[in-house]
Amino acid sequence: MLIDSHVNLHAPQFDEDREAVISRALAAGVRLMVNICDRVSNYEAVRRVAQHPDIWCTVGTHPHEAKEDPELRPETLIALAADRRVVGIGECGLDFHYDLSPREVQAQVFRAHVAAARETSLPLVVHTREADAVMAEILETEYARGPFRILMHCYTSGAELARRVAALGAWFSVSGIATFKAAEDVRAVIREMPAERIIVETDCPYLAPTPFRGRRCEPAMLPRVLETLAQIRGWSLAEAEARTEEAFFAVFDRIPRARISPP
């Protein structure tokens, strides 16, 4: 089973042909998708996409949008996560590349997400860019206060952060960036990720894999990401598919396998 663990199908880039995009994904063998919340104020749009039987969702606020609600409370996230179609907390984290929200606000809002993930036992979907040291410190400090599950989405950060979060039991998601010619440093980290804790994603409409770069990314492009992961790890395609499926259901354990629609 192909599973796209991180899509943004509520994005305006899909407003003209959302159902056609979903149909193409299913035709390409992508049997399940997780639609990722970019900000709590947009949750209703995110959730509407998850009405589709093959699509689930998360609730959270991206670090770019943290300034929208600096006082975001864990209780807000916990209440929304009572919806059984919600299978994760996030996307949340730190982005010190663009700094679209003040760094201290990003950290404060991120900690609210951690508290919600700990309380709900749902995985924390983490975005991190150019913030390795601070990210490691927050995750290690918070984990010491009480464990929670961590998913490092679209992981392109350094080997040291990967090592430290792997020690906390983190899962890692591989995206189309792994196919980019200049991304050998990313591939090097992928080779060292825990084999039983790797999943795949498209992050559509962003990060279309080679040879689709420059086009709008769609879940139907996920097979190219999986093929690249198999090549990097020295797995057969069937082994890569089986491993990522097992890892996906281990981290997103609110999704019952019996509910997957037949092809």
Please write the tens of the pLDDT for every residue from 104-130. 999 999 999 999 999 999 999 999 999
Asked if residues 253 and 243 have their Cβ atoms less than 8 Å apart, the reply is no
CA nearest 170: which of 119, 123, 114, 230?
123
Average pLDDT over residues 211-226: 97
Please write the tens of the pLDDT for every residue from 37-87. 999 999 999 999 999 999 999 999 999 999 999 999 999 999 999 999 999
pLDDT score, position 257? 85
pLDDT score, position 168? 98
* Band (259; pLDDT cuts 50, 70, 90): low
pLDDT score, position 261? 53
| pTM of the complete model | 0.97
Domains of the chain (ranges plus CATH)?
A: 2-259 (3.20.20.140)
Average pLDDT over residues 181-203: 98
CA nearest 177: which of 214, 241, 225, 131?
225
CA nearest 84: which of 113, 47, 116, 118?
47
C-alpha 175/C-alpha 64 separation (Å) is 20
Residue 231, token pair as written in the block: 């090549």
